[in-house]
């Protein structure tokens, strides 16, 4: 019995020893380095293909330190992933970039590609304008995002474009760019074709010439010109007319002005202003004014201050109708009409009631320069509670201005002309200006309109009233 037990114990110990050696051998097999047979080029090539889903079965020849497929992924997948993600967005290793239409403002959804400022093959710098987008209100530049050479245009003039639309492709290195504008290529190709297609002179036999002489050509009698009576108008020929499409700014101005006529009950009242004292004030202090404030003293600031005084005395002029309600504005923003080569724009002087003469002159000069340069923004033209239009700079003697919606009145200034006036019983020459106020008669009665224009006349003729507030 004791011998049987000894043999059983020895048998169990030997089997356990065999199992332990087998497990140890298995661990050694697992931790043994994997010998790879594939090359690095094959892995990179297969990784670019869509079939390769797992790299764990691929091995690299010459590498015995990679213990699992995770090692291959850690060494090569970051590079492969980066290469795959960058390729669609930047072709040619990031050499080509797109110039797109920028954001044009909250109220502007699209614009018209007015003109290209550059040609394919031209070199541009960062933020250099390459095209202009014309909107209902302003002209916006499309700038180059990088320095380089314009490779091609992907839009043409006259196209309607939206923010984000691609306009041009720019090569940062200038490679693959044809330095000949596309419009010049057809002319170069057409030149040799014309030489080839020149007809050769035909040699005809004498018999053919005789046949031609025998066959008389039919005579075409010219119809006599139609007789015109004395009352029939003579219209110019169509060849002397040109049809040009309207710009977006011009169409917008036309629409707004016609809507103003159709909506408002327009009525205009007139008065005349003696400019003697304001011109004398300007003449006496113009040098000291420039020396201190760095800007010239003009007549416009005097009329702006006079308009502010008039609006404070007659708040209804600063109000507007909105449906069945009247909106009274407790601020005074004066719009100044500025004529530019591209059309009429109306920048706004904000909080004019809190500004002095120098601040008003500086703001007018800044806005006028931006308007003429085409760099004025939409925010600088938005709003406004009252408009001043100075047609006198062009020599206008008298006019009836049209209200700028959503306002209720507009003041028209005109040219200064020396006229004989009766002063203290004597006839003397005086520099006189006609002023006109067009107002919405649905909201503003004639009394308020006349009193407002009378206040402007009193302040301009005697600027000391502004100091005394009388």
The answer to whether the beta carbons of residues 365 and 295 sit under 8 Å apart is yes
The answer to whether the beta carbons of residues 104 and 96 sit under 8 Å apart is no
Residues 6+ apart with CB under 8 A from 363: 349, 355
Catalytic residues: 441, 445
Query: How far is Cα 400 from Cα 410, in angstroms, rounded to an integer?
Result: 9
Measure CA of the first residue to CA of the last residue in the chain; give whole Å. 137
């Amino acid at each position: 019995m004791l011998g049987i037990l000894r043999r059983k114990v020895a048998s169990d110990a030997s089997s356990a020893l065999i199992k332990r050696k087998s497990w140890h051998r298995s661990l050694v097999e697992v931790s043994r380095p994997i010998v790879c047979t594939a090359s690095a080029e094959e892995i990179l090539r297969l990784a670019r293909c869509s079939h390769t889903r797992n790299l764990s079965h691929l091995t690299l020849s010459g590498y015995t330190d990679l213990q699992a497929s995770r090692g291959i992924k850690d060494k090569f997948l970051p590079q492969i992933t980066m290469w795959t993600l960058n390729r669609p967005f930047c072709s040619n290793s990031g050499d080509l970039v797109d110039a797109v239409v920028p954001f044009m403002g909250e109220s502007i959804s699209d614009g018209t590609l007015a003109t290209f400022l550059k040609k394919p093959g031209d070199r541009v710098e960062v933020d250099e304008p390459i095209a202009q987008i014309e909107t209902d209100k302003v002209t916006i530049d499309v700038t180059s995002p990088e320095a380089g050479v314009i490779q091609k245009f992907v839009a043409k003039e006259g196209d309607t474009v939206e923010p984000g639309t691609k306009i041009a492709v720019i090569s940062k290195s200038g490679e693959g760019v044809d330095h000949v504008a596309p419009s010049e290529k057809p002319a170069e190709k057409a030149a040799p074709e014309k030489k080839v297609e020149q007809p050769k002179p035909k040699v005809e036999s004498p018999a053919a010439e005789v046949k031609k002489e025998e066959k008389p050509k039919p005579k075409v009698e010219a119809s006599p010109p139609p007789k015109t009576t004395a009352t029939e108008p003579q219209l110019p020929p169509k060849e002397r007319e040109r049809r040009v499409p309207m710009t977006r700014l011009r169409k917008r101005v036309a629409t707004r002005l016609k809507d103003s006529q159709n909506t408002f009950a327009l009525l205009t009242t007139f008065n005349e202003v003696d400019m003697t004292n304001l011109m004398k004030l300007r003449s006496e202090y113009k040098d000291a004014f420039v020396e201190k404030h760095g800007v010239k003293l003009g007549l416009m600031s005097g009329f702006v201050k006079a308009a502010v005084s008039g609006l404070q005395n007659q708040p209804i002029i600063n109000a507007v109708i909105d449906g069945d309600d009247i909106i009274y504005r407790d601020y005074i923003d004066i719009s100044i009409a500025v004529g530019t080569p591209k059309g009429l724009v109306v920048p706004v002087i904000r909080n004019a009631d809190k500004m002095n003469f120098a601040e008003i002159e500086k703001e007018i000069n800044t806005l006028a320069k931006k308007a003429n340069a085409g760099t004025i923004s939409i925010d600088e033209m938005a709003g406004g509670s009252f408009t001043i239009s100075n047609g006198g700079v062009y020599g206008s003697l008298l006019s009836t201005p049209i209200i700028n919606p959503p306002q209720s009145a507009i003041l028209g200034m005109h040219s200064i002309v020396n006229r004989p006036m009766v002063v203290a019983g004597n006839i003397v020459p005086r520099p006189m200006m006609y002023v006109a106020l067009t107002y919405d008669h649905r909201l503003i009665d004639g009394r308020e309109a006349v009193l407002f224009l009378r206040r402007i006349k009193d302040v301009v003729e005697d600027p000391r009233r502004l100091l005394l507030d009388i």
